[in-house]
Amino acid sequence: MTDTRAPLEAPEGTRDLLFEDARRLRSCEAAVGRVFGEAGYAEVVPPVIERSELFAEVASLRATDSTGRSLSLRADFTDQIARIAATRIKGTTPLKLWYRGPVVRDVAPGRIAPRERFQIGLELIGDASPNADVEVLSLAASAIEAVGIAADDVRISVGSTTYFAAVLAVAGTAPAIQAQLRDCIDRKDRAGTARLASSVADANARDALLFLASAEPQTQALSTARSLAPDEAAARAIDRLQAIVEAARARLGDRLEVDLGEVRGLGYYTGLVFNVYASGAPGPIGGGGRYDRLLARFGDERPAVGFSLDLDALAPLARSEGGR
């Protein structure tokens, strides 16, 4: 699609941050960064340009340098942190890092979406325990509190990609059908899910897929999902998520909800996934999860978990001196 803007205007999907908008974004960034630093996380500053193959899971903006090598603007921080941890800080465990800056992604023609977003986030590398997941969830809540958003205005919605993957494995559907199921469940399309799951022979797997497409998060979601678990892998996934939720609720209370329909996202997630929502924002203001196999791409098999917040969405909601 042709960009009809005048040559001196910002490219489509980007914007100039002026005056108060810039101040609010930087103020939020500083407030959240203090939370991360006080929790023992060290800041790293990855380059804004990487080799294109690093961003296998996201649509990056690419160019070719003078040697013919394909380079991309940064499309995702987690891939970069995984590369840094595996190649520059190998052997330090647990490793706690945080980052901030813009990410730039390609956008399909005709889609109204930002190409450039400002993010701030952290990664906890080398700890596979549920306690690490709880720490990350708690720090997400602390970061939101640091910019003055009231607890009553925040929801942290958790799910498990492991449970969904186990259900799909028992269902035995083709990869193309799996992708459609993921999309239907993510959109809470129960009718579409029922149509796609109609040929699944295993009754528990079929019922589990329909349950994942339920319209709203449910307080009894974990016990229902456990009763529908079609095999031991699915049952273990729910047991782990149950342990995380019980421990995290001591810190987060009613802000924490279970939505096992949180199944779509970057393909490197391997367990806990979560989104952060706040009143006044039309969509998630952040999210993350566990990605225990990503570092193995760089020869380092350490587990990891982390999250990022969208500063463009967070800054307009901030109410404290840190964000206003």
Secondary structure of residue 143 in the 3-state scheme: helix
CA dist., res. 135 & res. 287, Å (int): 14
CA 279 to chain centre: 19
Of the candidates 274, 243, 271, which has an alpha carbon nearest to the alpha carbon of residue 257?
274
Residue ranges of domains in the chain? 20-317
- Which helix (H) or strand (E) is 119 found in, with range? strand 116-125
* 25, 116 Cβ separation under 8 angstroms: no
Q: Which of 70, 78, 24, 23 is nearest to 50 (CA)?
A: 70
H or E stretch covering 157 = strand 154-160
pLDDT the model gives residue 91: 86
Write out pLDDT tens, residues 74-127: 999 999 999 999 999 998 999 999 999 999 998 776 666 778 999 999 999 999
What's the distance, CA 268 to chain centroid?
10
Question: Could you tell me the pLDDT band of residue 12, with boundaries at 50, 70 and 90?
Answer: confident
Instruction: Say what the pTM is.
Output: 0.93
Q: What is the pLDDT of residues 37-47, one digit of tens each?
A: 999 999 999 99
- In angstroms, rounded to a whole number, what is the distance separating the alpha carbons of residues 159 and 260? 4
Tally the residues of the chain.
324
pLDDT at 111: 64
Whole-angstrom distance, CA of residue 267 vs CA of residue 263: 10
Q: Tell me if 295 sits within 8 A of 315, measured CB to CB.
A: no
Q: For residue 157, which of 263, 270, 315 has the smallest C-alpha distance? A: 263
Fold topology of 20-317: BirA Bifunctional Protein; domain 2 (3.30.930)
pLDDT number for residue 320 = 55
Residue bearing tokens 């952040």: 286
Q: Which two tokens stand for residue 299?
A: 């020869």
